[in-house]
Structure 1
Amino acid sequence: MPVTIDRTASSRRTPQQPARLSLTPAPGGLDGMWWPRSRALTRELPTLTAALSAHWGRITGVTVHPAHWPVVPHWVSVAGRTVQVSCSTEVQDPHRLTVSLPDGRRDVLVIPPETGADAAAHLMAGDDGDAAARKEAADRIDARTREEAWETDGGAGRAVVPDPAHRVGRALARGSAEVGEP
């Protein structure tokens, strides 16, 4: 019995959600803020670049810092075109994404995807005063989520400090008069 596979429509595909984006200029050279849903750039960048293209025109490239992105693709497809993606650890701030346009570039603050809805809305509304405060808030969120991941993935828990009474008991059991011996 022949089997036909139709790859034109898939019931498993969900429609892409719009980018969570604020294009309010902010001090520090920020042209907006973006709150991705995940750290998967191949999934997040097409939606972002499509939204930014509608406001800023044709996007030719995106530069990210690799510290917060597990995989950085070389390119993403946006509306039938290719947008180059690059990473830089020397020039790029870990919480910024730089968008290259034919007439220049724009910088966007990346709010960590693990940020709660209230905190992200607060940051995107520009209630924190300046770019340094927003970056500091993003750093705190990233530090907290790294620690939570470490703890939940079996990382370091509480340090176990040996009880001195236990050492005395072990030394006496071995017949040693020296408590300091292991």
Structure 2
Amino acid sequence: MPLPRLKLTPEASHGPLDGAWWPRCDALELELPALVGMLNPDAGAVTGVTVDAASWPDAPGTVMAPHQVIAVAETLLATEEHAITVDCGSLGRWELLVIPPDEPPGTATRLLRAAADPENPLSAPRLLALTENGVDGEAAWESEGGPAPVGT
């Protein structure tokens, strides 16, 4: 697989998200190894992931990645819709917005930037919902009372 389409918060996140991931398809067993390869500072550090069951209805219980088997847990919590949590044990974890694979490139690019903004206060479902309702991804959290993004 090609490198994942991923944007991470440059420093410690102050919001509910640490960035965003835009997979190319909805086959987690194909997409997850590349994502883990980009996030994983040490082979085997990723201990598991939690995914939104509605977004990944056919998610397997485990996924093979180089040098490791990754446990996959599913959640039905509304607060975790359109998100993936990557657990790296004692190294911490990443909470990422999962942008639907069929999202138009312009919208996906704006969502990648908005989710990786360290001052973004919005959760994955809220950020995606605002965008689906016509609010630009970068301006979505501004509409929720946040400051205007710099450079737009």
Q: TM-score if structure 1 supplies the norm length? A: 0.60
Q: Which has the higher contact order (CA 8 A, sep 6+)?
A: 2
Q: Does 2:10 match 1:22?
A: no
In 1, are the aligned partners of 2:19 and 2:95 still within 8 Å (CA)?
yes
How far did residue 134 of structure 1 move?
6.0
In 2, are the aligned partners of 1:115 and 1:141 still within 8 Å (CA)?
no
Output one character per residue of 1:88-110: Cα deviation in whole Å (capped at 9) or x when no partner.
21386111111111213221111
Q: Structure 2: how far apart are the matches of 1:122 and 1:31?
A: 15
Identity rate, percent: 35
Output one character per residue of 1:14-61: Cα deviation in whole Å (capped at 9) or x when no partner.
xx1101000116553211110011111111111111111048981110
How has the CA–CA distance of structure 1 residues 140 and 92 changed in structure 2, closer, same or farther, with 3 Å as cutoff? Answer: closer
Match of 1:68, SS state, is coil
Q: Over aligned residues, Cα RMSD in angstroms?
A: 2.9
How has the CA–CA distance of structure 1 residues 78 and 102 changed in structure 2, closer, same or farther, with 3 Å as cutoff? Answer: same
Letter matched to residue 17 of structure 1? P
Q: TM-score if structure 2 supplies the norm length? A: 0.71
Picking from 42, 48, 58, the partner of 2:45 is: 58
Q: Does 2:103 match 1:115?
A: yes
Which residue number in structure 2 is paired with residue 7 of structure 1? none
Letter matched to residue 38 of structure 1? C
List runs of 5+ in structure 1 lacking aligned partners: 1-15, 144-182
Picking from 118, 126, 136, the partner of 2:126 is: 136
List runs of 5+ in structure 2 lacking aligned partners: 134-152
In 2, are the aligned partners of 1:19 and 1:47 still within 8 Å (CA)?
yes
Picking from 99, 113, 117, the partner of 1:125 is: 113
Which residue number in structure 2 is paired with residue 169 of structure 1? none
How has the CA–CA distance of structure 1 residues 20 and 132 changed in structure 2, closer, same or farther, with 3 Å as cutoff? Answer: same
Letter matched to residue 85 of structure 1? V
